[in-house]
């Protein structure tokens, strides 16, 4: 088979979709030596900032649109074309068009976007949903949202969980889990309203006031949109000197941040999947996360679940995990077991099953 995959998201700083795409093609390369893969991207010839990812195997080839000719001119006839973005038209020469929908944020949590963005994204999603032969959803929560908001037939949607890319660690020695003797609470994610960083800062302020907690709060992630109120909350905090915004961090630094955190907190209002939850599990970090949207679905029994609307409950959850050693170790053990259920090899196998219509044995 000739399989085309949209990899444009891998050419820039990689967040959710870029990491998903890169891990998917690498895992496909491990299990599939038969089919031919054509990786579609766009960049200018003299654009050295956007770098093509290394081809993972001999049956993978780059197809780069250097001159904005359009996908139909760059790709020849395909049996299948897959994308995780909504801005591409269905390739004319593709027999089957598959789209992965990571979330339905614009409908389920529209508060974090302006009206123009919502309208444009909604129109793009409606078009691509109608053109796709099959939709892949990252979670049952996202599948439910597609049915609820866009009236998609259940049979047209297949849930395939993404995997975890980190190497699972054994239980850490908590006496040495510090960086420069500084203990900290960690959050990882784009700085935007739905991540509920405001609520986390309020919870942190409460912990400082009521318990005199010595920990710092580290927030790792690039600025997204509508983040003004978040930084206003930070500026108004009397403990702002203990709140550190790291900005975007690379994989190596991110791994260190996870490994040495006392607790990872992810109080998001809405997630289509929630990669950081699994990453924290994989690094043996106890997790406090939302019970809503897909966070509770992905975390299972591996995290302490809280109501993201209640910052006091967020703070109580953090305090419990940090000060209860048996709970901490219980969460770490359960988190590691939960993480084992999510592998990119499994994701790739299920993806391949969808496009070949047969069971793949690997």
Quote the pLDDT of residue 360.
Answer: 58
170-183 burial by CB neighbour count: b if 16+ within 10 A, else e? Answer: eeeeeeeeeeeeeb
Q: How far apart are CA 32 and CA 147, in angstroms?
A: 32
Residues paired with residue 287 on neighbouring β-strands, in sequence order: 264
Looking at 73-112, which runs of residues are DSSP E strands? 78-83, 94-101
Instruction: Give the pair of three-digit tokens for residue 91.
Output: 């390739």
Quote the pLDDT of residue 168.
Answer: 58
Residue limits of CATH 3.40.50.2000 in the chain? 2-163+343-356, 174-339
Mean pLDDT in consecutive groups of 10 residues from the start of the chain, 362 residues: 95 80 96 96 87 95 92 91 92 94 92 87 94 96 96 96 75 44 92 96 97 96 93 97 95 92 97 93 96 96 98 98 96 95 96 80 50
How long, in residues, is the chain? 362
Q: Compute the CA torsion angle 177, 180, 185, 186 (nearest 10 deg).
A: -90
- 58, exposed or middle or buried, with CB in 10 Å at 0-12, 13-18, 19+? exposed
Helices (H) and strands (E) in the chain, counts: 13, 13
Cβ atoms < 10 Å from Cβ of 126 = 12
Quote the pLDDT of residue 179.
Answer: 45
Q: How far apart are CA 284 and CA 214, in angstroms?
A: 22
User: SS3 string of 191-221?
Assistant: ECHHHCHHHHHHHHHHHHHHHCCCCEEEEEC
We find that the CATH architecture of domain 2-163+343-356 is 3-Layer(aba) Sandwich (3.40)
Backbone angles phi, psi at 243, to 5 degrees: -110, 120
Q: Write down the H helix ranges in the chain.
A: 16-31, 71-74, 105-108, 115-131, 140-150, 197-211, 228-236, 251-259, 275-282, 293-299, 311-323, 325-339, 344-356
This model's pTM is above 0.75:
yes
Instruction: Give the pair of three-digit tokens for residue 52.
Output: 């093509």
Quote the pLDDT of residue 170.
Answer: 52
Quote the pLDDT of residue 48.
Answer: 80
Domain 174-339 top-level CATH class: alpha beta
Quote the pLDDT of residue 114.
Answer: 85
């Amino acid at each position: 088979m000739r399989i085309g995959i949209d990899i444009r998201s891998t050419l820039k700083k990689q967040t959710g979709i870029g990491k998903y795409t890169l891990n998917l093609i690498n895992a496909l390369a491990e299990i599939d030596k038969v089919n031919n893969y054509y990786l579609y991207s766009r960049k200018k010839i003299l654009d050295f900032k956007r770098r093509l990812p290394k081809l993972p195997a001999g049956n993978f080839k780059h197809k780069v649109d250097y001159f904005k000719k359009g996908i139909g001119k760059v790709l020849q006839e395909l049996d299948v074309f897959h994308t995780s973005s909504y801005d591409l038209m269905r390739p004319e020469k593709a027999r089957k068009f598959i789209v992965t929908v990571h979330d339905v944020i614009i409908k389920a949590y529209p508060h974090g976007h302006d009206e123009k963005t919502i309208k444009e994204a909604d129109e793009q999603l409606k078009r691509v949903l109608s053109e796709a032969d099959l939709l892949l959803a990252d979670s049952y929560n996202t599948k439910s949202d597609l049915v609820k908001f866009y009236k998609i037939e259940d049979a047209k949607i297949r849930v395939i969980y993404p995997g975890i890319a980190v190497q699972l660690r054994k239980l850490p020695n908590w006496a040495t889990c510090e960086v420069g003797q500084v203990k900290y609470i960690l959050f990882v994610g784009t700085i935007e309203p739905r991540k509920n960083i405001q609520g986390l800062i309020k919870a942190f302020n409460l912990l400082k006031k009521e318990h005199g907690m010595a920990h710092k709060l580290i927030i790792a992630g690039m600025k997204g949109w509508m983040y003004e109120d978040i930084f206003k909350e930070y500026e108004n905090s009397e403990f702002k000197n203990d709140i550190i915004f790291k900005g975007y961090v690379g994989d190596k630094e991110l791994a260190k941040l996870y490994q040495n955190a006392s607790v990872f907190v992810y109080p998001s209002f809405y997630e289509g999947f929630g990669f950081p939850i699994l990453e924290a599990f994989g690094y043996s970090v106890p997790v406090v996360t939302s019970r809503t949207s897909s966070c509770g679905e992905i975390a299972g029994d591996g995290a302490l679940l809280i109501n993201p609307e209640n910052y006091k409950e967020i703070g109580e959850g953090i305090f419990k995990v940090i000060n209860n050693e048996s709970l901490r170790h219980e969460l770490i053990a359960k988190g590691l077991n939960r993480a084992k259920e999510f592998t990119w090899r499994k994701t790739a196998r299920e993806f391949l099953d969808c496009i070949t219509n047969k069971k793949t044995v690997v």
